[in-house]
Amino acid sequence: MTDADASSRTQDRDTSSRTTSSPTKDANGGDVFADAVRRLDTAGRHLDIDPEAIERLKHPRAMLTVSIPTRMDDGSLRVLTGYRVQHDNTRGPTKGGIRYHPEVSLDEVKALAFWMTCKCALIDIPYGGAKGGVIVNPKELSRLELERLSRGFIQQMADFIGPDTDIPAPDVYTNAMVMGWMMDEYSKIMRRRVPDVITGKPIPLGGSLGREDATGRGGYNCITRLSHRLGKAPADTRVAVQGFGNVGQSAARLLHADGYRVVAVSDSQGGIYQPDGFDVPSLIQFKNESRELKAVYCSGSVCEMINAATVTNEELLELDVDVLIPAALGNQISTANAARIRAPVIVELANGPTTSDADPILNERGVLVVPDILANAGGVTVSYFEWTQNRQGMSWSIDEVHRRLQAKMVSAFDTVYDKARHEEISLRDAAYAEALTRLGAAISAQGTQSYFEQPN
């Protein structure tokens, strides 16, 4: 896969945002999954929820590790390792992306599956959480090798997934083309066409309009709703975006069109900053054509350089802005830098950009964090729409998809925001509390100790 292929991939975010690294340790050296589930206990303190529900959610229901023999173009054989984790299916079939990255690990996949369970419950769609990954650097593979790997992954996973069981989607370094291969391979194994086994597919193969920018658009819906609740005008709101891949670009483009000032953006090589704001469409055009991020103004096919300061990804996080959007790496805000974050609002479009140890520091300083399980839920929401359309044999218009997505995101945001204000807790605790309430009700409906110890 070339750099251009990687940059243009469709991200499900059934994850979040574009991630260029997949660390298995948090910024403080702890396991990512252990750090993720700590938030269960934190949120559980605000709930009247059966302890069995909390205990159940600390343990993925199923994990599968497979070997994928893949023939290289030179005739050699590489045996790659793949994972699929199904975290919880109490509320419906599990759902989550598949990532290709050299640093994929089982611990990371478990954490991402857990977040997906919470995300689906919070946004109130009938899914549980799952995630998958292959340990590979896709940039080292030809397109034919990538196809063989993708089909081989499905051959090994065919008995573990299904449209009523577990529905994969694209994620880091996978895209619509990869999902099309996977759907086709599964259909061959089943000897019938099964479009609803995979989401994030190409439009001609049953994909949904509105999928490509769904995660960024969902985050944009949260920001505009928060601005409304706080009475903050777009023109008075300075925004910094860490991560200028598909998700970061989509959010920045929509915010710019509404009049927000996007004053800083970055990619894996570093960032640029201009207090007056950038012409975001020009940045996107130049970035996607050249694979470089520079301060430019483009008119048609001609782009001219403009003055801007260069910043590192670390410096971008600490800029004096009104809204900070981490849309790239996980574990970017930790105890090492939380005290230096100057933005009063953080909107997490990446998965797990803030460690659990950093949350108390941000809360004490009054920083409002729109958590990842809310802010980046747009991707899995539109994936649900795609699955629904496939099962109904229907195709919705782009306006219908956008309308339904906005309704879902605004409803979830208002529920979390009102709960946080009423109970005087953080938005993250409120989001997890709402998700756990729904998950706890579903688990309790199957019977827990408090039910079984009662006399007949």
CB 64 within 8 A of CB 146: no
Closest CA to 220 of 262, 181, 188: 262
**Residues labelled as active-site residues:** 131
- The position carrying tokens 């096919």 is 301
d(CA 142, CA 387): 30
Closest CA to 266 of 326, 216, 206: 326
> Residue 99: which H helix or E strand, with range?
strand 94-101
Q: Which residues 6+ apart lie within 8 Å of 360 measured at CB? A: none
- Identity of residue 306: I
Closest CA to 410 of 177, 172, 164, 221: 221
Alpha helix stretches (DSSP H) within 134-240: 143-157, 176-190, 214-230
- Cross-sheet strand order for the sheet of 166-170: 62-71, 77-88, 128-135, 94-101, 166-170
d(CA 166, CA 175): 18
d(CA 12, CA 315): 28
